[in-house]
Amino acid sequence: MPVDRPTFSESWYRVAALRPRLRSTVQIHRQHYRGQMWYVLQDPSNNQFYRQNESAYHFVAMLDGHRTVGEAWQLCNEQLGDSAPTQGEAIQLLGQLYTSNLIQCELPPDAQGLFNRFQKRIHREVKGYLSNLLFIRLPLFDPDRLLDRWVKVVGRIFSVWGALLWMIVVGFGLFAVINRIPALRSQGNAVLDLENLPLLYLSFIFIKVIHEFGHAFACKKFGQYSGGGEVHVMGVMFLVFTPLPYVDASSSWAFRSKWHRVIVGAGGMLVELFVAAIAAVVWARTPDGTTLHAIAYNVMFIASVSTLLFNANPLLRYDGYYILSDLLELPNLSQRAKQYLYYLVRKYVYGVRNPRSPAHSGGERAWFVFYGIASTIYRVFICTRILMFVADKFFFVGFGLGIAAIVAWVVVPFVKFLHYLATSGELMRVRGRAVGSTAAALALVVGLVGLVRMPDRYRFEGVVEPVTVVGVYAGTEGRVTELLANRTDVQAGDTILQLVNEELQAELDKALAERRAKAVERQLAIRDRKLAEANSLAEELAAYDEKIANLEEQLDRLTVRAEVSGTWISPKIDRVEGAYLDRMARVGLVADLSEVMIRCTTGQNESAELLEHIDRSGSVRAEIRVKGRPDDYLEGVTTPKDIVPAGQKHLPSQALSYTAGGSVATVQDEQGQVQAMENFLEIHIHPDGQGRLADGRSLLPGQRVAVRVDMPSKPLISQWVRKLRQMFQRRFRI
C-alpha cells in the first residue's frame, strides 16, 4: 500500500531561501541496486559517502549555488510529479548532506539550528563509539603511497590467473590436511598450552596484517577501473584489549560493480586461506617438535578459525556482512533492518500515521525482518561470550564491563524509549495507544516470565551399563589357545578361554617325579627302621604335596570360566587371540544384558535442587533418549538410593567426555589419567522394560544417552536465576 507522504513542512520557511551547492570535491558514482538507479556521493577529502535515489539526486543536482531550495523543489515537482521529494524529505536530505560535509552554504541561525539536530545525533554516535571499551580504533598512518607502489605486483592476485593459482594452492593445502586428520586433532588439543601461546599470538598478528593488506590491495586494484580506491587509514583496533591491525577500505563503496565490492570485502579472507594452505603443506612436510612445524600449525589454525567463525559470519559487521550486503544489493543492511523493525512497531502497534519505510520492495522487507532479528540475537550472544571470556581471565574487569554493558545496552535504550513515548512529536495523536500497547506488552512479558509456571527440566548425559557385570581375568599367565566368540551367551561355569603354560606343566611334572622318589626313600627308611630319616622325608613329602597342589591349582586356572550367566564381551578380542597373557590380565567381561542401568553425571553445584526433589518424591521418572537417534526413547526411574553422593572426578565412561563428544570437560591428572575438570555426582537411572525400546531393540552397554527429569513447574524467571547462579558458581567459584 502506498505511503501517504505529507507534501508540506512547517519548517520549510527556514530553508526555502538558501542557495546551497555540492562541494567541488564531491564525486558522484552511479550504481544499480535491485533494478533501481542510485547515486553515491563521495568526498575523497574526508571519505564521506551518501547514497541517494534518483528523485533525491534530481533535487540535489539542481542546487548549483544560484537557485534557491524553494525553486529547486518547485522544478522537481513539475518534472517528477508524485516522485519528487516532499518538503520534509528535502529538509532531511539537506541536513544529512550538511552533516556529511558534502554541501556548502551560508546558513542563517534558524536553519543552523535545524541542521544542528543531525550534528548532535552524529556527536552522540561518535561519543558512544569512543566509550565502547571493547572496540577502540586508533589510526596510525596513510598506506596509500605504499599500495600505489606495489599494486601492479600484488594486485595480480585478484585476477583470473591469481584465482587459478589460489585454487591450486588451496587444493594442495586441503589434500595435505585430509591425509593427516588424526595428527591435526592431536596437535589441536595443545594449541592453548602456555608454551604455545607466544607463537599463537605472533601468528595471529601476522595473519591479521596480511588480511588487512588483502583488503587494501583489492581496493586499490579495482579502484583503477572505476576511479578512486584510495586507502588512507591503517591503524590498530583494540578488540577486547587485544591489539589488531585494521584498514579503512570504505572507498570501495563507490565502485560501480558489485562484484568488485564483493572481492574487496573477501580479499582479506582469500589471502588468509591462501597463506593457511601454504602453512598446511609446510606443516605436513616438517617433522613434529620443530619450530617451523609449530609455526605452520598456528598460522593454519588462526587463518582457518578466524575466517570461518568470525570474518565470514554475516551476522557480525565483519567481512561477511559487507559481502552479503553487496550480493543482496542491500547497502547499510544492518541499520536499515533495525529501522524497518522500528517502522513495523510504529505503524502496526502504535498506529503512527504515515511512517516512512526503509524498504523499497517485498524482498527487502523479508531480508530486513530476518536479518534484524537474527543479527540482534547473535550479537547479544557473542558480546555475552566475550564478556564471559574477559571475566574468566580478569573477574573484576569482566564484572565492570558487564555492568557497563547492561547500562549501555539495556538501561540507556530503555530510558531513551520512555523519553520517546513521552515526548515524540510523531506520537502526538496516538500517544495513548502507544503507551497502552507498550504497557500491555510489558505486562504480558512480566506475566509470562515472572508469574506463569512453565515446565522445568533437568537434562544431563549418561552411559548404559549392565547392572550385573563381572570382569574376566587370566588366573595364571599363559598363552591363549582357545577363545569363545565375542558376544556369546554363557552360563555360570562355562569355559570362556583356555590357556597353556608349558613351563608350569613341566614344573608340575618335575615336582611329581621328585615326590615319587622321596616316597620310595621314605619306604626304604621305614623298612630299615631309620625313624629319624623317615620323619624328615615325611616333612619333605608334605612340602611337595603343598607345592603340587599349588601348581595344579594354577594349571586349573588356565581354564577361565564364567562366574555368572550372561553375555561374554571382549572389546579387545582380536588382540587376545593367541596372545601371552600375564596373571590377572583383563580379557573381557560377562554382563547380564537383560537388565541395564544408566550411569549419569551432573555437576555438584547444579544438582542440589534435583537431589532434593528426588529425596522428597521417593522416586522420580526420567525420559531417556539415545544420542544420535532422538526417536529412540523410553522412560526410567531413579530413587534416593540410586544417588552416589560423594563428589568424584573419575568418569563412569570416557564416552561422557568432551573429547568423545560428551558434555563433561576433562583434564589430565599428574599420572596422565583423564578425569573430569570439576567434581560431579553420579545418578543411576533404571529404564523400564529391562531397557527395551519400542521397536524391540535393547539399549547396549556403552551407548551414550540423554536423560531428562521433569521438575515441579516454576516461572521462567526462577529457572533463569537458578541457571545464572549455577553458571557463576561453576565458572567463578562464587
For residues 649 and 643, the answer to whether their CB atoms sit within 8 Å is no
- Considering only CA atoms, which of 300, 272, 271, 269 is closest in space to residue 284? 300
Which range of 152-166, 228-242, 378-392 scores highest in mean pLDDT? It is: 152-166
Q: In angstroms, rounded to a whole number, what is the distance separating the alpha carbons of residues 57 and 61?
A: 6
CB-based burial, 622-637: b 16+ in 10 Å, e otherwise: bbbebbeeeebebebe
Sign of the CA dihedral 96, 101, 106, 110? Answer: positive
The answer to whether 466 touches 596, Cβ cutoff 8 Å, is yes
Residue 393 pLDDT class (50, 70, 90 cuts)? low
Would you state the pLDDT for residue 117?
46
Crossing angle between the packed helical segments 144-154 and 197-226, to the nearest 10 degrees: 80
Range scoring the smallest mean pLDDT among 352-366, 538-552, 692-706: 692-706
Is residue 624 predicted with pLDDT exceeding 80?
A: yes
- pTM summary value: 0.67
Q: Are 429 and 353 in contact (CB under 8 A)?
A: yes
Task: Determine the pLDDT at residue 485.
Answer: 85
Between 486 and 444, the more confident residue is 444
- Coil, strand or helix: which one is 46? coil
**Tens digit of pLDDT for each residue in 303-352?**
887 777 678 889 888 889 999 999 998 888 999 999 999 999 999 999 98
Half-sphere exposure for 14 (CA within 13 Å, toward CB): 19
Contact 100, 51 (CB under 8 A): no
Task: Work out the pLDDT band at 689, boundaries 50, 70, 90.
Answer: confident
Summarize pLDDT for 108-154 with one digit per residue, the tens.
655 555 555 445 545 555 555 544 555 677 888 889 889 999 998 88
Percent of the chain residues topping a pLDDT of 90:
20
Distances (CA, A) of 379 to 334, 389, 594, 727: 12, 15, 50, 20
∠ CA 588-590-595 to the nearest 5 degrees? 135
Q: Mind listing the pLDDT tens digit for each residue in 194-216?
A: 788 888 888 988 998 999 999 99
Q: Can you give the pLDDT at residue 461?
A: 87
Closest by CA to 281, choosing from 119, 428, 168, is 168
**Which comes out higher in pLDDT, residue 588 or 324?**
324
- Cell readout for 7 is 507534501
Domains of the chain: 12-130 (3.90.930), 135-317 (no CATH), 330-428 (no CATH), 469-589 (no CATH), 595-732 (no CATH)
- Residue 570: band (very low, low, confident or very high) from pLDDT cuts 50, 70, 90: confident
**How does the average pLDDT of the chain come out, rounded?**
83
Which positions ≥6 away from 605 have C-beta within 8 Å? 726, 729, 730
Residue pLDDT, tens place only, 410-468: 888 899 999 999 998 888 889 999 999 999 999 999 999 988 898 888 888 888 888 88
Q: What percent of the chain shows pLDDT beyond 70?
A: 90
Q: Is the pLDDT of residue 474 over 90?
A: no
* DSSP SS3 for 652: coil
Q: Looking at per-residue confidence, does 35 or 95 come out higher?
A: 95
Report the pLDDT value the prediction gives residue 168, as an integer from 0 to 100.
95
Torsion over CA of 86, 90, 92 and 98, rounded to 10 degrees? 180
- Whole-number pLDDT of residue 425: 82
In this prediction, residue 32 carries a pLDDT of: 80
The CA-based diameter of the chain, rounded to the nearest angstrom, is: 152
- What pLDDT is attached to residue 172? 94
| Helix, strand, coil percentages, rounded to 5, for the chain | 55, 20, 25
Q: Quick one: cell of 81?
A: 510529479
Give whole-number Cα distances, 82 to 77, 161, 570, in Å: 7, 50, 84
Specify the higher pLDDT residue, 670 or 507. Answer: 507
First CA to last CA distance, the chain: 57
pLDDT tens, position by position, 258-302: 899 999 999 999 999 999 999 999 999 998 888 899 999 999 988
User: Tell me: the pLDDT tens digits for 595-620?
Assistant: 888 888 887 666 778 888 888 888 88
| Phi, psi values for residue 567, rounded to 5° | -115, 130
Q: Is 602 exposed, middle or buried (0-12, 13-18, 19+ CB in 10 A)?
A: buried
* Calpha distance 248→238 (Å, rounded): 15
Neighbours of 428 (CB within 10 A): 9
